[in-house]
Structure 1
Amino acid sequence: MEAFLVSTFIVALAEMGDKTQLLALVLAARFRKPWPIVLGIFVATVLNHALAGAAGAWVTTWLGPQVLRWVLGVSFLAMALWMLIPDKLDDEEAGQAPRWGVFGTTVVAFFLAEMGDKTQITTVMLAAQYSAWAWVVVGTTLGMMLANAPVVWLGERITRRVPLRTVHAVSALIFLVLGVLALTVSV
């Protein structure tokens, strides 16, 4: 249960102001069809985070506990710094035509936008930290949906009221604490 709750909370916070949240806003403004967009976000996130979770679980079998502890600790500290750098949506991504309809465009755009993204890397790290990687994937997917579905339905009204700098600072602090704990608490 801890893996699920931590994963949900961290990803929901990390996703605020992330490029995929901006992508959700752009898709919602452009297509004005919230259900296919939300379903596309869900499908892309499940696929992407399942792969990331499996990679994180595989890492635990490949690395010894001491090496894994240092890799996770340093990775969490790096994520803390990365959270302080806001994402921006590339102009090229915003101008793509819906070749596969709204749903297909959303699935492809979100899956690709998540490659190497903060939330994907977070999923890998959390799956490596917790033995229940499936709960990590469920949690990170729920976190993504909590952050992105309201943006699709409520759009710009949310982004004007959410203090993104504060959200990024809180996310960075959480990653900092996780990194320090991973480095200082013995296995």
Structure 2
Amino acid sequence: MDAFLVSTGIVALAEVGDKTQLLAFILAAKFRKPWPIIAGIFIATLANHGFAGAVGAWVTTLMGPDTLRWVLGISFLAMAVWTLIPDKFDEEDAKLARFGAFGTTLIAFFLAEMGDKTQIATVALAAQYQSLALVVAGTTVGMMIANVPAVILGGKIADRMPVRLVHGIAAAIFAILGIATLLGAASAFGL
């Protein structure tokens, strides 16, 4: 259950102000059809994070437990720093309107998530917890927690969200995970 809750919390916090949340705002304003947009976000996230989680699970087969702890610990610390760097939104991500609200959202979200911090976090969390289903479910729920209000409420909440504070909290959680993982790795080596 920790895998699900931690994955949900980290992604929900990291997603605030992320380029995909900005994409959700733009798609909501453009199409004004929340349910097809929400469905597109859900399916794109499930596919993208399912792939990322599978990569994370596969990585665990390539490394011994001690090496994996060091790699994950450093990865979580890097994610903490990355979370504090504001995303830039590329207008090209939203220029697929010919596919309708659902199709545009599905394609744009899947592509926007490629290499995004929440996808990389999914890889690391799946490797850390070795629970593919719970991590993917958690990261998908986290994406929905952050993006559904963006779609439904649109610009009404965009300016009121304390993005820096939320990113700071997400960064702190990543840092805590990184330090805890590294301490586990250090204790394995008697350090």
Instruction: Normalising by structure 1, report the TM-score.
Output: 0.97
Determine if the alignment matches structure 1 residue 181 to structure 2 residue 187. no
> By how many angstroms is 1:102 displaced?
1.1
Contact 1:22/1:88 (8 A) holds in 2: no
- After the TM superposition, which residues 107-118 of structure 1 pair with which residues of structure 2 at under 5 Å, given as runs? 107-118=106-117
**CA distances 1:109-142 after superposition (whole Å, capped 9, x unpaired):** 0000000001000000000001211100000000
One-letter code of the match for 1:160? D
- After the TM superposition, which residues 25-64 of structure 1 pair with which residues of structure 2 at under 5 Å, given as runs? 25-64=25-64
What does residue 8 of structure 2 align with?
A: 8
Separation in 2 of the partners of 1:78 and 1:132? 22
- After the TM superposition, which residues 145-156 of structure 1 pair with which residues of structure 2 at under 5 Å, given as runs? 145-156=144-155
**CA distances 1:81-128 after superposition (whole Å, capped 9, x unpaired):** 10110112113224x141221101100000000000010000000000
Paired-residue identity, %: 67
Give RMSD over aligned pairs: 1.0
**CA distances 1:159-180 after superposition (whole Å, capped 9, x unpaired):** 1111001011111111111111
One-letter code of the match for 1:183? L
Separation in 2 of the partners of 1:136 and 1:32? 31
Separation in 2 of the partners of 1:97 and 1:45? 18
> By how many angstroms is 1:74 displaced?
0.6
Q: Displaced runs of 4+ in structure 1, greater than 2 A?
A: 91-94
Separation in 2 of the partners of 1:90 and 1:148? 17
C-alpha distance 97-46 of structure 1, shift in aligned 2 (>3 A): closer
Separation in 1 of the partners of 2:5 and 2:125? 11
Separation in 2 of the partners of 1:99 and 1:53? 31
> By how many angstroms is 1:42 displaced?
0.2
Contact 1:52/1:120 (8 A) holds in 2: yes
Determine if the alignment matches structure 1 residue 93 to structure 2 residue 109. no
One-letter code of the match for 1:176? A
What does residue 139 of structure 1 align with?
A: 138
Unaligned runs of 5+ in 2: none
One-letter code of the match for 1:75? S
Separation in 2 of the partners of 1:131 and 1:138? 13
What does residue 70 of structure 1 align with?
A: 70
